[in-house]
Amino acid sequence: MTSHNPDRSSLTRFAWLSIAAAVTTIGLKTAAYLITGSVGLLSDALESIVNLVGSLMALAMLTVAARPPDDNHAYGHSKAEYFSSLVEGMLILVAAGSIGLAALRRLVTPQPLEQVGLGLAVSIIAALVNLAVARVLLRAGKQYNSISLVANAHHLLTDVWTSAGVVLGVGLVAVTGLERIDPIVALVVSGNIVWSGIRIVRDSVSGLMDTALPADEQRTLQNVLERHVRTGVQYHALRTRRSGARRFVSLHVLVPGEWTVEAGHQLLECIEAEIRDLLPDTTVLTHLEPHGEFLPEDAVSRD
């Protein structure tokens, strides 16, 4: 028995918000770079271009993920979101490499910065835009179990920290006159972006590999089942996985052989309902068996 998918077509509005933020910050950060000539601000602008590409990919995959199940995709299309976050993670790594190369060139041949105050003001405005949008996306991503929105939000938050580092670097150049501080900060920023990209890629690959539910959700399942074990019911072959926004749980439930089919069916209905109440957006598949087919010590098994 399953729970119904919530309408996820509305999630595309968050992708459009991310696209609008990316276009806005690209313009602001490019202007800041042109005003100051800072390679740190250039690196910030390049990452915003990656944000735009990632947001467009998220829009496309959220549109696909919102499609209902069909003959060829009986479990729906929610896994499409993993492709979005995987591509975004890879784009982040590409951006980090570009930033690193630009910073190394400027480290070898440093150049003076111009109109630092105006450039920093523009960059700070761009960072505040990203921060506001990231908070909205992160809240929506957690509410709707959308890995695309969560990945996009973390990317924007990385951009915010990038901007903070760049502003610090450019400010230190203005105060100390040491022009090499700017590319050094850009290199540090590049390293931070690499870590963010690796984390997003790892989470995406994990989802595509049908990884079991996290430990806290596994404990929730165990607690539900153990309550019924104390009444003489047993279970085995418990399997879990996550696919996009949905969880999948399957298990065999063993009941006394003298039970009627109706009594066993009512028990399964109760177990499935309890699991779905505690873990929303879960498809629960149960199989009823009589005691005696398995030894008692084999009956309660876990992933």
**pLDDT 10s digits, 67-79:** 777 777 766 677 7
**289 strand-pairing partners:** 254
DSSP conformational letter for 10: G
Beta strands in the chain (DSSP E): 234-243, 246-255, 282-290
pLDDT at position 9 is 65
Distance, CA of 89 to CA of 111 (rounded, Å): 32
Tell which residue, 302, 231, 238, has the closest CA to residue 263: 231
Distance, CA of 284 to CA of 249 (rounded, Å): 5
Mean pLDDT on 85-94: 78
Distance, CA of 116 to CA of 161 (rounded, Å): 19
Place of tokens 């976050």: 85
Residue 159 has pLDDT above 70, yes or no: yes
Looking only at the bridges linking them, the beta strands covering 234-243 and 282-290 are: unpaired
User: What pTM does this model have?
Assistant: 0.62
Token pair belonging to 168: 């610090």
DSSP conformational letter for 207: H
Tell the burial category of 119 from Cβ atoms under 10 Å away from its Cβ (0-12, 13-18, 19+): buried
What is the length of the chain?
303
DSSP conformational letter for 11: G
What is the per-residue burial (b if ≥16 Cβ within 10 Å, else e) of 27-45?
ebbbbbbbbbbbbbbbbbb
Distance, CA of 58 to CA of 53 (rounded, Å): 9
SS3 category, 125: helix
Looking only at the bridges linking them, the beta strands covering 246-255 and 234-243 are: antiparallel
Domains of the chain: 9-208 (1.20.1510.10), 215-299 (3.30.70.1350)
pLDDT at position 135 is 93
102-123 pLDDT tens trace:
778 777 777 666 666 777 788 7
**235 strand-pairing partners:** 253
226-281 pLDDT tens trace:
888 877 788 888 999 877 667 889 999 998 888 888 988 999 999 999 999 999 88
Distance, CA of 151 to CA of 240 (rounded, Å): 23
- Across the beta sheet with 234-243, the strand order is 234-243, 246-255, 282-290
The mean pLDDT value of the chain amounts to 79
Residue 294 has pLDDT above 50, yes or no: no
- Letter for the amino acid at 45? A
